[in-house]
Amino acid sequence: MSIDLKQRDRAVDLLKWLALLSMVLDHLRYVGYSADWLYVPGRLAFPWFCLAMAANLARTEVVPASGQWRYLGWLLLFSAVSEIPYRIYIPDPDTLNVLPTLALGLLVARGWRDRTLQARLLAGAALVLAALFWGRLMFGFFGVLLPLAMLLVIRRPWYFALLPGLVCLAANQWQVLYYAIRLGNHVAMAAIATCLIAPWLGLFLLRHAHAVKPPPMRRWAYALYPAHFLVLLALRQVLA
């Protein structure tokens, strides 16, 4: 089944809201109570944000290309704005916040979509940066590739979603999850399954959720990323 790229705005907004909810659930693990199981729904957030990005890129025939560069600018701006709240809230972070990964992923996917020399050079530069700073990027090199993997399958039958599912699993430290499975960790088992099916679930929403009418996510929504860290930090202080 194909996606109607001109009439799925409501479904894309729903996908973004659900991705945001998944991210907040994931980050609730650091409020102060033992809730490792929240790691599982948290595995939906990043692939669904990547799928929303791919959906916007797939609409370049109806959305001006300049809008995509504004999208990149907002990602870069809030990458910087979010880093301090992220580091204050997340204990001992070993990567940057997620927005630099999304910004590089946007450049890579756009280089595939827009075959101009400028777009291809920027995509190449993004891949080089992702390779050089693999360990500093949340979700690493494969996280940068995930928006492109989503873009490649967005118009294809549902079973093609296995490709971004595998990329999503690789971005989520599959070696650590596999080792935990060998120790009998049920959270790790559920997390691997979630990584594999997250792209398919997202595509299902894009194709069948047109009747849902969530509030549109406009530019103000970028502020929700740093803001949610501050809200959760305040909650942690109250519960301490």
Locate tokens 């047109």: which residue? 210
Decide if 102 contacts 147 (C-beta within 8 A). yes
In a domain, 2, yes or no: no
pLDDT by residue for the chain (240 residues), tens only, comes to 445 544 547 899 999 999 999 999 999 999 988 789 999 999 999 999 999 999 988 876 545 556 667 889 999 999 999 999 999 999 999 999 999 999 999 999 999 998 889 989 999 999 999 999 999 999 999 999 999 999 999 999 999 999 999 999 999 988 889 899 999 999 999 999 999 999 999 999 999 988 888 999 988 999 999 999 999 999 999 987
Question: Which ranges of the chain would DSSP assign to H, the alpha helix?
Answer: 9-27, 39-42, 45-58, 65-89, 98-113, 117-132, 140-153, 162-171, 174-182, 186-208, 224-239
Q: In this predicted structure, what is the pLDDT of residue 10?
A: 86
Q: Which residues contact 185 (CB under 8 A, 6 or more apart)?
A: none
Q: Report how many domains make up the chain.
A: 1
In a domain, 101, yes or no: yes
Phi first, then psi, for residue 184 (nearest 5°) are 85, 25
Rounded Cα–Cα distance for residues 156 and 73 (Å): 30
Q: Which residues contact 130 (CB under 8 A, 6 or more apart)?
A: 104, 108, 137, 140, 141, 144, 145
In a domain, 151, yes or no: yes
Q: In this predicted structure, what is the pLDDT of residue 123?
A: 96
- Give Cα separations from 152 to 36, 96, 113, 148 (angstroms): 33, 27, 10, 6
Q: Which residues contact 116 (CB under 8 A, 6 or more apart)?
A: none
In a domain, 158, yes or no: yes
Rounded Cα–Cα distance for residues 226 and 216 (Å): 19
In a domain, 94, yes or no: yes
In a domain, 1, yes or no: no
In a domain, 4, yes or no: no
3-state per-residue secondary structure call for 60-85:
CCCCCHHHHHHHHHHHHHHHHHHHHH
Q: In this predicted structure, what is the pLDDT of residue 240?
A: 77
Decide if 53 contacts 105 (C-beta within 8 A). yes
- Domain of residue 75 covers 9-239
In a domain, 177, yes or no: yes
Decide if 143 contacts 169 (C-beta within 8 A). no
Q: In this predicted structure, what is the pLDDT of residue 70?
A: 85
- What is the number of helices (H) and of strands (E) in the chain? 11, 0
